[in-house]
Structure 1
Amino acid sequence: MVKEIIKEKFGIHVRDLSHHLSYQSFQTPNSIVLIVPVSQFSQAELMELYYISHYLQEQQEPYVCSFILTKDGTLTFEDNGTSYVLLQADQRHPKRSVSLGAELAQFHQKGRGYPYEVKELTRIGQWKDLWGKRLDQLEQFWIKKTQSEPLQPFEKVFIESFPYYLGLTENAIQYLADTELDDQPQTADSGTICRQRLTWESPLIKVPVEWVFDHAARDLAEYTRSLFQKNQDFQEITLFLQQYEQVIPLSSFSKRLLFSRLLFPLHYFETVENFYLSPESEHTFYEKRLENIVNQAQRYEKFLASFQDMYCTKARGYANIPSVNWLKRSY
């Protein structure tokens, strides 16, 4: 059915459908076209993504997907009640010419130059409120689960572990609040284009629907978190950040935002939330993931302590970066 709709709406004849990244796709002679569901976006959000992607292409940013408009000049089409867009990506995928850290810094530089106001996609200054709302929702859900029987194995682990992660989240929110009160953002702390979630397995292709407008520390923290989860040693994390800072040195405000985001246990929240949103066939995956996160809680504390010691408190010229004292406890 989708082939016929694409033929009608875009005038593109689709021979065979396949998958690329996590999306349904098809090939043209010179490109790969992704069929991306976008029902979760408003039209205003999609228009912002369209203009941002167009701007990045004008800046000759590599690997950026472009929107293909319908014959009527619209962004979306419908199939079985779901809205979709077509995103066109270059079929050639050469290796990076520079390190990921340097490439990300250059991407952020271009993103800061975006000349229009971003209203719908901005997350600048919103972390504290978003984290607080997320914590309140999960705490209310936890209270209900403590009063219900019988419990699944996943729920037992969730009930036992949540008070610890509640405390860690409160630490992150307080650290962020102190940063916003005590430190001053610099020019390089202005908003830029970021991934919703930048991880070590993120592809070269830059897919607009995966973007938000935020502080660069978002990408730095989430990539750093993913390296920890990949069991990479601290040397690789340090190298990534050094490569970034060779292009854009980080202010104390940036470093404090980065650390506050690492303190926030996003990986725990996502695992619990996704368990209850996923079909039963995926529950075993999230059960194992939650057990792994909880079992590695002390290792994550050590990681945070090492990051704080090596990257924040010992950094030259950044004596005003406070430490979280309880992380210094001996193991």
Structure 2
Amino acid sequence: MSFSTWLYENYNIRPETKRWVDGKECYQAERYIYFITSVENNEIIHMEQSVLAYYLKESSYSNMAIPIRNQQGEWLTSHQNTKYMVIQGSDHPYSPSISSGTILAQFHQVGSAYTYEPKTISSYGQWKQLWIEKVTALEESLEKAAQENPNAYYRLIMDTLPYLIGVSENAIQYIRESEEELRFHETDQGTIAFRRYSDQLYQSVMWPLELVYDHPARDIAEFLRQQFLQDDPKHGTIQFLQDYQTVRPLSIFTWRLVYARLLFPIHLFDCLERNLTEQQIDAYDQLHHLLQLQAKYEKHVSQFFDWANIDCKHLQIPVLHWL
């Protein structure tokens, strides 16, 4: 049985055509598009993300895709021993004429008004522990994989691992000290955020399975991370931070969280984790390219507070001088 027939039998949806949106296969039916995604052992995560997606959809985010129930009123539908969720998106262009900083600050403003902190998808206040676990787990799995696969890719990883662990430990120590920072205000409360923010707010379809609950510093840092991997991010960084703060001023605590997250090499960990699970053909090239960008990235992180017009000495914000 095809998924077209399955959609009609279980959701009373008659697909007119199959297409791809943002790299994901979907089915067009009248003015909506429908994505079918498998759900494996993480039903609670999907349910929490679904609640956030509905909240955002009702809060005027028309590009937010939402899971829908089947004809039996259930969120998940089985097909060939696998459970699936159907996600509905609107099929129209979405191009808000608003700056990156402003649109993210407004999103965090709406997200912070959501009054129930999810349990499973919340990382609020947990970065230190999550980073320690990430470093430990990845070190073990990479060393094991390197022993089983003595090739150029894993030799590159083993050469890089001491640096990765060292940089990560610096970030973990910085976040540990930052947790004692008392200069915070109401914008430091938790908000709806993205697992890795990369301008999803401008996309025609926002994907609910990317939603998390966390400190707004998460999205700010991930936006800046992508900027800092480019050649000349100074002007864009200054503009982004100015625009964001016009809507939501940042506390000293937030500045420190953003800096800590920029120190932690999440982009390298993401690359390594992706290649461990998916075993991509160009794994070596991906990692080698990111490592070549690392010196430039670190230079930009070292200039972060200057670009933000923050006097670290006056405000007693510690910085890492090896950068």
Q: TM-score normalised to the size of structure 1?
A: 0.89
Query: What residue in structure 2 maps to residue 267 of structure 1?
Result: 267
User: What secondary structure sits across from 1:33 in the alignment?
Assistant: strand
Query: What residue in structure 2 maps to residue 324 of structure 1?
Result: 320
Distance (whole Å) between structure 2 residues aligned to residue 295 and residue 23 of structure 1:
30
Distance (whole Å) between structure 2 residues aligned to residue 230 and residue 297 of structure 1:
11
Per-residue CA shift, 1:43-102, capped at 9, x if unaligned? Answer: x32332222222222222331112221111111223333332222222121321311221
User: Structure 1 residues 32, 141: closer, same or farther in 2, change over 3 A?
Assistant: closer
Query: What residue in structure 1 maps to residue 3 of structure 2?
Result: 2
User: What secondary structure sits across from 2:27 in the alignment?
Assistant: strand
Per the TM alignment, residue 227 of structure 1 is displaced from its structure 2 partner at its CA by 2.0
Query: What residue in structure 2 maps to residue 311 of structure 1?
Result: 308
User: Structure 1 residues 17, 240: closer, same or farther in 2, change over 3 A?
Assistant: same
Structure 1 gaps, min length 5? none
Aligned length: 321
Structure 2 gaps, min length 5? none
Q: Which runs of structure 2 are paired with 1:80-91 in the superposition (5 Å)?
A: 80-91=80-91
Q: Which runs of structure 2 are paired with 1:123-138 in the superposition (5 Å)?
A: 123-138=123-138
Query: What residue in structure 1 maps to residue 163 of structure 2?
Result: 164
User: What secondary structure sits across from 1:27 in the alignment?
Assistant: strand
Distance (whole Å) between structure 1 residues aligned to residue 106 and residue 6 of structure 2:
38
Query: What residue in structure 1 maps to residue 228 of structure 2?
Result: 228
Per the TM alignment, residue 118 of structure 1 is displaced from its structure 2 partner at its CA by 1.5
User: What secondary structure sits across from 1:183 in the alignment?
Assistant: coil
Distance (whole Å) between structure 2 residues aligned to residue 100 and residue 218 of structure 1:
15
Amino acid paired to 1:191: G
Per the TM alignment, residue 149 of structure 1 is displaced from its structure 2 partner at its CA by 7.5
User: What secondary structure sits across from 1:326 in the alignment?
Assistant: coil
Across the aligned residues of Structure 1 and Structure 2, the Cα RMSD in angstroms comes to 2.2
Query: What residue in structure 2 maps to residue 239 of structure 1?
Result: 239
Contact persistence 1:65–1:87 (CA under 8 A): yes
User: What secondary structure sits across from 1:181 in the alignment?
Assistant: coil
Q: Which moved more, 1:97-106 or 1:128-137?
A: 97-106
Query: What residue in structure 1 maps to residue 150 of structure 2?
Result: 151
Query: What residue in structure 2 maps to residue 283 of structure 1?
Result: 281
Distance (whole Å) between structure 1 residues aligned to residue 148 and residue 63 of structure 2:
51
User: Structure 1 residues 143, 19: closer, same or farther in 2, change over 3 A?
Assistant: closer
Distance (whole Å) between structure 2 residues aligned to residue 3 and residue 168 of structure 1:
49
Q: TM-score normalised to the size of structure 2?
A: 0.91
Amino acid paired to 1:283: I
Per the TM alignment, residue 235 of structure 1 is displaced from its structure 2 partner at its CA by 1.2
Contact persistence 1:176–1:260 (CA under 8 A): yes
